Amino acid sequence: MNETNAGGVRQRSVEIVVPVHNEAHVLGNSIGRLHAYLEASFPFPFRITVADNASTDATWQAATGLTARLPHVHAVHLEAKGRGRALKYVWSRSEADVVAYMDVDLSTGLDGFLPLVAPLLSGHSDLAIGSRLHRQAAVVRGPKREFISRSYNLLLKLGLAARFSDAQCGFKAVRTEVFRALAPHIEDNTWFFDTELLVLAERNRLRIHEVPVDWVDDPDSRVDIVATAVDDLKGMGRMQRRILTGRTRVALPPRSGTAHVTAATHGAASVEPGPDGGEARAGAERTSPPHGSRRPARPGESGVSGPRVPRRATGAAPPRRRRRGGQRPRRPHAPDHHGRRRPRRHRTRFALMRLRAFRPRRTPSPRLEPAS
């Protein structure tokens, strides 16, 4: 899976985990469809891992048959049940740069997979989730599941101050190094695993990218809604206690693949690769000021080459604004009743004008004419 391109540079890879439990009747069709789609349209190296967690039917035999027939499919078997346990086991041992998972019924449209993992492969984001509650999502499901999903996410916003829109959509991805740092702090191994992962990521100020998805409800879903809701409420109470006691902080690795631009003293800023090859640090090309100039030369002046950059990026101090005649700038005045700032003398003049306008006029006294 660690492939290189024509220039000898290692390409970033993705591992997709499909956790299954007694899904022998749909496993072959779903994995075959997913494998064909990724081979035809996914531009990065990938691996599909079927994680069988304590199945009692022919799921494991179907998974091993797929590994012999399809080149990019692998399978693992776990003795204990739990979606979170299966994801934690495979993701912690993955050699890929990005790990993802999706439900075996492929309820989520596969066209959203590349937009899901692209921000993680570029290093821009740390986690990515598919959202069925996004205003641009296209969802087909019954009113009962819609009510339960919206109520659960509303409780997360009220109780845990969550800012993500959909915690339980089976369509997520995370950078492998980030998950390895968060995994020891995730206690749940069942359905609350997703929520705990997202809450820990938000509490540690990680970037979570949301993708609106096309989602069609699976009528054959065998999730116990009541038991899952009770476990989720218990998990929310546990996370509230952890937040109140300050036990959500995690030491995380730096985000790779991003460019940190620092202010250059003079001249144009240039980006240099960091020591790990992923990060970048900005340098500067110092230029000598032209003859007779009072300030350092900037690109585009006196034969200095390079793109013109704003004064803020070069670190040069902004010029002082002075009035004509070398006077000191006026001090700001409070706004008048029109909301405009005026100098003191103008305010005094307008006050006099208003007094004159409202001053009562003197009426001439009547003349007394002598009686004839």
At 216 the three-state DSSP class reads strand
What's the token pair of residue 297?
Answer: 């030369």
159 backbone φψ class: left, alpha, beta (φ>0; ψ -120 to 50): alpha
Instruction: For residue 219, count CB atoms less than 10 angstroms from its CB and return exposed for 0-12, middle for 13-18, buried for 19 or more.
Output: exposed
Largest CA distance in the chain: 138
CA distances, 187 to each of 127, 239, 249, 268, 278 (Å): 19, 10, 14, 50, 32
Q: For the chain, how big is the Rg over CA atoms in Å?
A: 33
Asked if residues 172 and 127 have their Cβ atoms less than 8 Å apart, the reply is: yes
> Helix, strand, or coil here: 181?
helix
Q: Which helix (H) or strand (E) holds 177?
A: helix 176-182
Find the length of the chain. 372
- The residue behind tokens 């509230």 is 240
67: CB partners within 8 A, 6+ apart: 50, 73, 74, 75
Per-residue exposure over 152-163, b if at least 16 CB sit within 10 Å of its own CB, e if not? bbeebeeebebe
Question: Which residue's entry shows tokens 């390079």?
Answer: 306
217 a catalytic residue: no
Of 194, 217, 218, 220, catalytic: 194
* Residue in the block written with tokens 């992962």: 197
Q: CA 301 to CA 166: how far, in whole Å? A: 53
DSSP code, position 242: H
Distance CA(176)–CA(127), nearest Å, equals 10
Residues acting as catalytic residues? 194
